[in-house]
Amino acid sequence: MTSRKSVVVHPDEIDRIYRNDSRKVYATLVRLLGDFDLAEEVMHDAFSAAVQKWPVEGIPGNPVSWLVSTARFKAVDMIRRRKRLAELHPELTRRVAELESLNGSPAGLEIQDDRLRLIFTCCHPAIDPKVQVPLTLREVCGLSTEEIARAFLVPSSTMAQRIVRGKAKIRKAGISFSIPSLTELPNRLDAVLSVIYLVFNEGYSASSGETLTRSHLSDEAIRLARLLLELLPHAEVSGLLALMLLHESRRDARTDDQGDIVLLEDQDRSRWNRGHIAEGQQLVEQSLRTGLAGTYTIQAAISAIHAEAPTSEETDWAQIVALYDVLLRFGENPIVELNRAVAVAMRDGVEFGLEIVDRLLLQETIEQYYLAHSARGEFLRRIGRHAEAIESFEKAASLAKQTPEIRFLQKKIAAVRSISKPT
């Protein structure tokens, strides 16, 4: 008997599939099983099987389908091993029968839409609005509870309780894992758009870690927005997709060869993705023409002005300030006010921007936001108040969670110190 030869499959390749596709597999399993915890368990079992089999058999042509099919078999085995199967909830017994019939065929073609289904499930009106977005970020996108807690500025224990409460509500209320009808879509839209944008933000600027970005998350957010736009051609869906494309157009220029941050004003604009910019600008114009533009469209319009400018100096800062003023009419938002302060500094002078930032830093939430201290440090540096600039940059570095951000701020501190040294 001849032994089977191992196929060269680098562990990094399986890790890459896990990073990029595990939540897609998970979303499909949640739909099939109707159980978050069971779906999580059998997904990990399927990946464990992949680690054992793929180095021998090679990576299948469709890894996601292979993983879903493997997990389905494992789910049936796991449920059968449970005691008193006949006494289990009739719904679970029915799902076992469905899984057994499915296991005779390849994973279905519906996998592509399952993450959107799961987003709508997590954003169901029956779930507390405070829980909807965190639950989706955890279950659909795989962000850790700690990452989500940082994004919402609450303790991890509080966030963990919210997520558990959300999953329990879905189970007890029997909320279906499906995309709502066209008549129900508008009522669920705000929460879904918020989730997709938060996913994109985590991909575009990771909340922590060694790298600035997580490209698979931002790519997935853009894909979901495109799918949502097909289902519901709403102005704000167009606006959100435009905003993400315009931000994404700058990805390659945001870091140098060493992975260090390059600020917008210093970026090589020839490296910006002109295809993304053209599509984003077109979507902004379409959304504005409807007269129904909201916050995402206004933000996209600001990004479009940046994209049109040949240099930072030639940017229409007056128009950007005006758009931030429009954005603030939708409600107070300290992050928007901080961004407006930067635009005001570019339009009117650094002292005017500094005055706004100093006022914002009196707010508790902004006082813990590293970018506010970084902006203040930059304003102070530009007007020669070097000791105060260093203090602000040091405060920003103590609050930053991402290695490239900390490294960037440390370079700023060193540069200001070298200027301020007596000769």
Where exactly are the structural domains of the chain? 11-107, 110-175+182-200, 345-423
- Tell me how far the alpha carbon of residue 289 is from its chain's centroid: 28
Distances (CA, A) of 363 to 270, 321, 352, 370, 397: 39, 22, 18, 13, 19
* 153-194 residue pLDDT tens: 788 888 999 999 998 888 888 887 777 776 777 777 888 898
Mean pLDDT of 90-111: 50
Residues in the chain: 423
- Predicted confidence (pLDDT) at residue 271 exceeds the cutoff of 60: yes
* 323-349 residue pLDDT tens: 999 999 999 899 999 999 999 999 999
In whole numbers, what is the pLDDT of the chain averaged over residues? 84
Confidence of residue 61 (pLDDT cuts 50, 70, 90): confident
Answer whether 0.75 is exceeded by the pTM: no
Task: Give domain 110-175+182-200's CATH architecture.
Answer: Orthogonal Bundle (1.10)
Place of tokens 């990805």: 251
Cα–Cα distance measured from residue 404 to residue 271, given in angstroms and rounded to the nearest whole number: 20
Least confident residue range of 36-50, 114-128, 394-408: 114-128
pLDDT of residue 217: 79
- Asked if residues 269 and 311 have their Cβ atoms less than 8 Å apart, the reply is yes
345-423 has which CATH code?
1.25.40
Mean pLDDT of 315-321: 97
* 187-215 residue pLDDT tens: 778 888 988 898 888 777 655 444 545 67
